[in-house]
Amino acid sequence: MASRDLKVIWGSVIVSVVLVVGFAFNAEPATIAAPHPTATPTTPADPTALTDINKIFDPSQISDIQLDIPAKSQKVLDNRSRDEYVPATFQITIGTQKSPKMEVRIKIKGTTSRYGINTTYQFSSYKVKFAFGKQHKTQTLLGLKSLTLNAMTQDSSKVHETFAYEVYRAMGVPASRTGYAHIKLSKNIPKPDRGLYLVLESLDDVFLGANFKDVNQHLYENNHNFTEIVPAYVGGNQKVTPRYQVKEGWKATPNRDDLRTFAKGIQSNGKKLWDFLETNTDREKLIMLFAVDNFTGGWDTYSGPLLNNYQFRSNQLGKMTFLPWGLDNTWGENYFNDVKGSRWVKSYTVPSKLHDDFFFPVDSKTASFPGSFMIAYNAGVTDPAKMTNYQLGRGQLFRKCLAYSPCATLYFQDLQKVSDWATATNLSKRMIAQGAVIKKLTNGYSKAEQTRTSNWVTKQQSRVAKAIAKHCELTENVIQSCK
């Protein structure tokens, strides 16, 4: 083939390649079918799994709790003086949903209502710890690290705590949520069916995190009756002293400087104390706490005659907020008078007519409580007419509040708010309705107590109205000032 012909052929090939390449660069890109993505399988929600924490604290239904107690744990729990946590297995069922079976730690709780686990004439109450040790330090029950189970041994009505805690929460005072559970223990425990218990939200770091936005420093709990907040009772830098226990915050701040400052500061009076409370407490919540203490008849509280069952939390600046606890002795609870006095004082028979109809004054610096005859007897008072009215001093902050008009005015205004709330929410009727919810696990005596408790509320509202009329100036039924 001639060279000229070869050049023509190669030229044609080059031109063809250029044309094809040029066409390829200027053409629309070809559509290439993308491969179908592999779908990630979704695990369907288990309809039998308990996922809603609100169901645990819903008094309108009763959960079932199974506590299996090994023999070694049983031996410890049968000794009411022992206070250590021991192994157990916990599972809660609500309707068709249940938690997994969980390894937990439990201990018995209480003071005058503290019983060993083998005691059957009264049942013991428990604290349950879900987060513990190295292997279970992150374990929770729907976010709860602990839970309190109260046998309600000092509340035959079985509704006192439920409604007392509700009032504090409704009035803006941080307070535990409550529910009910039917408790069953393992068969090695005498009478393993323990019946109805109160399920109570524990005061711990989970509770504090949910109720406060600032940084927690300490959570203190009094562990002794008649515990006034004075410098002499603060104790040394220990987690537990004869008067107070540091429940939260000790590891980060192993001292009681905040409590010392507070105890010293509240020894003042009048305006100086009022100003100190403004910066060193959540003052409005403190006075409202006093109002709810008194409206609910909580004689086993700081502002009651026993100066007991109170906890308070400090923030990083040492500002204190009081928290209610142990509210079974409310709504006229008079369990001392439900039995013969010989059980308490051999030479004196206590009248049993009062039952859940005990009142103490909402406007007095002193008060009696249903067991005042015990205190009176030990003090040498033997006249039965004087024993039941034996007066005890109440918490100094409450006494000083009544003596200073701005504080007294706020206190009586708060009392009125609580009474108005009780009317607006049909509190008396709701107490009876709650009794119907728990009817299967209570008895006729409980029903009678519920009726008395319901009636007590209306009587208390009348007593509050009289106290306000006695101490306050009103304009068109609005409290202006009190003293």
336 Cβ neighbours under 8 A, 6+ residues apart: 344, 350, 370, 371, 373, 374
Q: What's the pLDDT at 60?
A: 97
Share of residues in the chain with pLDDT > 90 (%) = 77
Per residue in 435-455, pLDDT (tens digit) is: 999 999 999 989 999 999 999
pLDDT average, residue stretch 458-466: 97
pLDDT value for 416? 98
The whole-number pLDDT of residue 377 equals: 79
Q: Which residue has the higher pLDDT, 112 or 331?
A: 331
Closest alpha carbon to 174 in 328, 326, 325: 325
Place of tokens 């205004």: 413
Residue 57, domain member (yes or no): yes
Q: Is there a domain that residue 108 lies in? A: yes
Supply the angle between the helices 160-170 and 405-424 in degrees, to the nearest 10. 120
Q: Are strands 125-129 and 146-150 parallel, antiparallel or unpaired?
A: antiparallel
Phi, psi angles (nearest 5°) of residue 180? -130, 150
Burial of 470 (0-12, 13-18, 19+ CB in 10 A): exposed
The answer to whether residues 84 and 105 touch, using CB atoms and an 8 Å cutoff, is: no
What's the pLDDT band for 9 if we cut at 50, 70, 90? very low
| 3-class secondary structure, 130 | coil
- Residue 28 is predicted with a pLDDT of 46
Strand 320-324's sheet: what is its strand order? 244-248, 216-222, 310-315, 320-324
Q: Residue 42: its pLDDT value, please?
A: 63
The structure tokens 């040394």 sit at 236
pTM of the model: 0.87
Band of residue 354 on the pLDDT scale cut at 50, 70, 90 = low
**86-94 and 62-68 strand pairing:** antiparallel
378 pLDDT band (50/70/90 cuts)?
confident
Per the structure, the complete domain to which residue 189 belongs is given by 53-151+175-207
- CA dist 99 and 53 (Å) reads 11
Cα 66 to Cα 54: distance, rounded to the nearest angstrom: 19
- From CA 422, how far away is CA 425, in angstroms rounded? 5
pLDDT at 20: 39
Q: What is the pLDDT of residue 292?
A: 98
- How many domains would you assign to the chain? 1
Is pLDDT at 224 greater than 90 in this prediction? no
- Which one is predicted more confidently, 200 or 376? 200
Q: Quick check: is 353 in a domain? A: no
Mean pLDDT confidence for 162-177: 98
Residues 416-434 have pLDDT tens digits of 999 999 999 999 999 999 9
Residue 318 has pLDDT above 60, yes or no: yes
The pLDDT of 141-149, averaged and rounded, is 97
Identify the sign of the CA torsion 83, 87, 93, 99.
positive
> What's the mean pLDDT when you consider all of the chain?
89
Within a 10 A sphere around the Cβ of 228, how many other Cβ atoms? Answer: 17
At 43 the pLDDT is 65
Q: At CA 162, angle to CA 420 and CA 337, rounded to 5?
A: 95
Measured on CA atoms in the order 303, 445, 425, 311, is the torsion positive or negative? Answer: positive
Q: Kindly indicate the confidence band of residue 22, based on its pLDDT and cuts at 50, 70 and 90.
A: very low
Structure letter (DSSP) for residue 349: P
Mean of pLDDT values over 336-349: 45
Whether the per-residue pLDDT at 30 is higher than 90: the answer is no
Asked whether residue 442 is domain-assigned, the answer is no
Give residue 37's pLDDT. Answer: 56
Q: Which residue, chain included where needed, has tokens 């609910």?
A: 296
In a domain, 84, yes or no: yes
Is residue 118 domain-resident?
A: yes
Tell which residue, 157, 181, 170, has the closest CA to residue 59.
Answer: 181
Amino acid (one-letter) located at 202:
S
Taking only the tens place, the pLDDT of each residue in 241-294 is 999 999 999 999 999 999 999 999 999 999 999 999 999 999 999 999 999 999
Q: Is residue 348 part of a domain?
A: no
Residues 64 and 99 sit within 8 Å (Cβ to Cβ): no
In a domain, 70, yes or no: yes
